[in-house]
Amino acid sequence: MRKKYIIANWKMSPLSLRQAESLFNKIKKGLPRLKNVSVIICPPLVYLAELMRSYSGRRIIFGAQNSFWENVGPFTGELSPHQLFELGAEYVILGHSERRALGETNSLVNKKIKAAAGAGLNVVFCIGEKERDERGDYLGFIEKEIKEGLAGFSREKLGRLLIAYEPIWAIGRAGDEAASSDLLHQMKIFILKILKSLYGERGMEVPIIYGGASAPENARELLSEGEVRGLLVGHQSLIPENFIEIIKIADSLK
């Protein structure tokens, strides 16, 4: 059995530390004993240190939603990957479409990925097309995101990489508007072919996960028939019972 990853992206929620602690405690108390799932929670940065101080177990791992491409220097308002690593975070989400919508380019994402992996963080590298077209131009878009995002990324660091396929047209939608399992399986194969072209057989070992309208009602199909290694969960990760159900479904699958 290969490990699965269920990653919570809380985005800019909740509104207070008290609410964040309540949400985290409900998830923590509801978690079953897991056989083969890594649960990773990425809260807003202002809550990260406090939540980590309140938890001493290993059933939940912590990550951040963003980091900078330098470790130290005159960069007001930024957070370096080394600082995150020293804090105790183990993962960071990079290249998310909501960051790209604010102006992040493939080149900036590339610098962030290399800096984060170099600092010892595991990188959740997000890719995804805004829309699909009959000519298949979106495939070229995805290929460009991957190749430019991983330019100069060494084969030795592949163990720190996960790729999250998040079609922008599915993010924030209802569960029945997620990518179909057939489409997801096709995209997984496409992504792995690109990774193989860049890194040889070792590229085929990079976990591919899915994000975009994942929910309890579609988690089993996405994971089993889509054949991905996990889910990057947005809105549903803010609903403790739903997030726990997604985790249980993932843990029940081979």
Q: What is the pLDDT of residue 58?
A: 87
Position 12 pLDDT exceeds 80:
yes
Q: What is the pLDDT of residue 131?
A: 85
Confidence of residue 171 (pLDDT cuts 50, 70, 90): confident
Q: What is the pLDDT of residue 172?
A: 66
Q: What is the pLDDT of residue 1?
A: 66
Q: What is the pLDDT of residue 204?
A: 97
pLDDT tens, residue by residue, 30-76: 999 999 999 999 999 999 999 999 999 889 999 999 999 999 999 99
pTM: 0.96
Q: What is the spatial distance between Cα 99 and Cα 9, in angstroms, rounded to a whole number?
A: 13
Q: What is the pLDDT of residue 177?
A: 65
pLDDT tens, residue by residue, 224-244: 999 999 999 999 999 999 999
Q: What is the pLDDT of residue 254?
A: 80
Question: Which ranges constitute the DSSP H helices of the chain?
Answer: 17-30, 45-53, 81-87, 97-100, 106-118, 137-149, 181-199, 216-224, 240-252
Position 215 pLDDT exceeds 90:
yes
Instruction: Select from 57, 13, 56, 65 the least CA-distant residue to 38.
Output: 57
The string over 203-238, giving b where at least 16 C-beta atoms fall within 10 Å of a residue's C-beta and e elsewhere, is beebbbbbbbbbbbbbbeebbeebebbbbbbbbbbb
Position 21 pLDDT exceeds 60:
yes
- List phi, psi (to 5°) of 145: -60, -45
Q: What is the pLDDT of residue 143?
A: 97
Q: Is residue 139 helix, strand or coil?
A: helix
Q: What is the pLDDT of residue 13?
A: 98
Position 134 pLDDT exceeds 80:
no
Please report the DSSP string for 230-244 in residue order.
EEEESGGGGSHHHHH
Q: Is 78 noted as a catalytic residue in this protein?
A: no
Q: What is the pLDDT of residue 173?
A: 61
Q: What is the spatial distance between Cα 250 and Cα 230, in angstroms, rounded to a whole number?
A: 8
Q: Which of 122-131, 163-172, 212-221, 222-231 has the lowest mean pLDDT?
A: 163-172
Q: What is the pLDDT of residue 213?
A: 87
Average pLDDT over residues 5-17: 98
Q: Is 235 noted as a catalytic residue in this protein?
A: no
Q: What is the pLDDT of residue 174?
A: 57
Catalytic residue selected from 82, 96, 145, 235 = 96
Separation in Å, CA 229 to CA 5, 7, 98, 235, 250: 6, 11, 23, 20, 9
Confidence of residue 170 (pLDDT cuts 50, 70, 90): confident
pLDDT tens, residue by residue, 83-108: 999 999 999 999 999 999 999 999 99
Catalytic residue selected from 98, 129, 145, 166 = 166
CA dihedral 182, 219, 91, 61 (to 10 degrees): -160
Instruction: Select from 206, 249, 205 the least CA-distant residue to 225.
Output: 249
CATH level 3 topology of 4-252: TIM Barrel (3.20.20)
